Amino acid sequence: MRAATARAIVSAGLHPSLSVHHRSGGSALALADDLMEPFRPAIDLITRRLCPEGFAKALA
């Protein structure tokens, strides 16, 4: 997801390491992180519904 977002950023002519909220600190994908951040609560909710017992039990 992050790589696909970064590809879209580059194809739009933007630089993926320039960001507003995330410090690049070695991350070349900081802008991708910024753009995905608003979707995090929805993804967390979907993940919790798909795996209600939590990741520890699901991965065990």
The 10s digit of each residue's pLDDT in 1-57 is 888 999 999 999 998 888 877 665 667 888 898 899 999 999 989 988 888 777 666
Spatial contact of 17 and 30, defined as CB atoms under 8 Å apart: yes
> Reduced to 3 states, what is the DSSP secondary structure of residue 27?
coil
Whole-number Å distance between alpha carbons of 19 and 5: 13
Give me the pLDDT at residue 24, please: 56
Nearest to 36 by CA among 16, 55, 54: 16
State the pTM of this model: 0.65
Give residue 35's Cα distance to chain centre: 8
Domain range for 17? 2-59
Give me the pLDDT at residue 4, please: 92
The dihedral over CA atoms of 34, 58, 51, 56, expressed in degrees to the nearest 10, equals -60
> In the chain, how many domains are there?
1
